[in-house]
Amino acid sequence: MVEEAEKFSEQDKLVKEKLEAKHQLENYIHQMRNTIEDKEKLKDKLEADDKKTIEEALKKETDWMAANEEAEKDDMEEHFKALQKICDPIIAKVYQKQGGQPGGKDGGDGGKDDEEFEDL
């Protein structure tokens, strides 16, 4: 019985890790979509080409997730990292133009968005 519990415990751990990776990718997609569409964030600060690049990448990953609902943890993490490689440099470039922080040189928002881009 103990062996069976250990077996299920390992399976539960793998399922949990897979779901965490899926949620990480979903959350990043949602976060980026909000960032590029919200006037309070970057909507009016992104160049048209950069916004299009991000939108296309978000659509590609959203479509991939819909077609690969049973994808493994490693696949989800790989797609998350690939999406970050596209989006993060664009977002960082916009923030650098604003003085290095969200909301302008003084931060403007009291640091509310700091955790939003903690991976930058």
Domains and CATH numbers, the chain: 2-117 (1.20.1270.10)
Contact 108, 102 (CB under 8 A): yes
For residues 105 and 19, which has the higher predicted lDDT (pLDDT)?
19
What's the chain's average pLDDT? 83
Output the pLDDT for position 24: 97
For residues 56 and 112, which has the higher predicted lDDT (pLDDT)?
56
Does residue 79 register a pLDDT over 70? yes
Helix (H) or strand (E) holding 74: helix 73-97
The structure tokens 């519990």 sit at: 5
Calculate what percentage of the chain has a pLDDT beyond 90: 56
The mean pLDDT value for 55-78 works out to 95
Contact 117, 102 (CB under 8 A): yes
